[in-house]
Chains A and B, each alone.
Chain A
Amino acid sequence: KNEVEQSPQNLTAQEGEFITINCSYSVGISALHWLQQHPGGGIVSLFMLSSGKKKHGRLIATINIQEKHSSLHITASHPRDSAVYICAVEGSNYQLIWGAGTKLIIKP
């Protein structure tokens, strides 16, 4: 059984739409990360969460520890948001256990 499950696997939306990507995990964690992988392969950390909600620009991340669930939202989506968004949970030595990612395409 995968420890980190993301949905949807692929998401195509029109520019301006509100985007939600979901992540569920099966293990107890100290923190959950949302990362962005660009088409060229580069990886950027977006958020680290251990509780509640964080906001950075048009990105919002929430986590519900009891339900072992997190969401990443993008408001007023733009074609430059097109990327793979990955949820990962921290292991005992802060190593990341990764989900499979959600490929997001925003059409103009």
Chain B
Amino acid sequence: EPEVTQTPSHQVTQMGQEVILRCVPISNHLYFYWYRQILGQKVEFLVSFYNNEISEKSEIFDDQFSVERPDGSNFTLKIRSTKLEDSAMYFCASMTGSPMTDTQYFGPGTRLTVL
């Protein structure tokens, strides 16, 4: 069964460093999402991406964040200068082109630890 994959599973970085979190969505999916979950808190929406552009972003998704779909298969989330409060589990999700009938499929997550 097709699945969303994410790499790395765990990333440790120093404050101020840039990180890139990678996701490979399911191949025929058209809608892509990043969510994050700070330890002990609820999952929060970061950004949605459709037709090679951002369709929606939350207040969390400030200028330090960017997303790309560089090669038609990968979907990346970049944090330019990480802060301690960026430590969280980051989930990628994808969905087909039928949003009224389909659910989102989630990757296993990348745990980001900022020291």
Interface residues, chain A, with chain B CB atoms under 8 Å away:
30-31, 33, 41-45, 47-48, 50, 86, 88, 90-101
Interface size class of B (residues with CB under 8 A): 20 to 34
Given contacts A41-B89, A43-B91, A86-B43, contact A96 B50 (CB under 8 A): no
Q: Contacts of A96 on B, CB cut-off 8 Å?
A: 33, 35, 43, 45, 104
Q: Is the interface of B mostly helix, strand, loop or mixed?
A: strand
Closest approach, in angstroms, between the C-beta of A32 and any C-beta of chain B? 11
> Are B55 and A93 in contact, CB atoms less than 8 angstroms apart?
yes
Given contacts A93-B50, A94-B95, A96-B45, contact A31 B104 (CB under 8 A): no
> Is B109 in contact with chain A by the CB < 8 A criterion?
yes
Binary CB contact string for chain B from 90 to 105 against chain A (1 if under 8 A, 0 otherwise): 0100010001111111
14 contacts between A and B (CB under 8 A): A33-B103, A43-B106, A47-B103, A86-B43, A90-B99, A93-B48, A93-B50, A93-B56, A94-B104, A95-B45, A95-B48, A96-B35, A96-B45, A101-B42
Q: Contacts of A99 on B, CB cut-off 8 Å?
A: 42
Closest approach, in angstroms, between the C-beta of A5 and any C-beta of chain B? 11
Given contacts A31-B100, A94-B48, A96-B45, contact A41 B56 (CB under 8 A): no
Given contacts A45-B105, A45-B106, A101-B42, contact A94 B89 (CB under 8 A): no
Given contacts A93-B48, A96-B35, A97-B45, contact A42 B56 (CB under 8 A): no
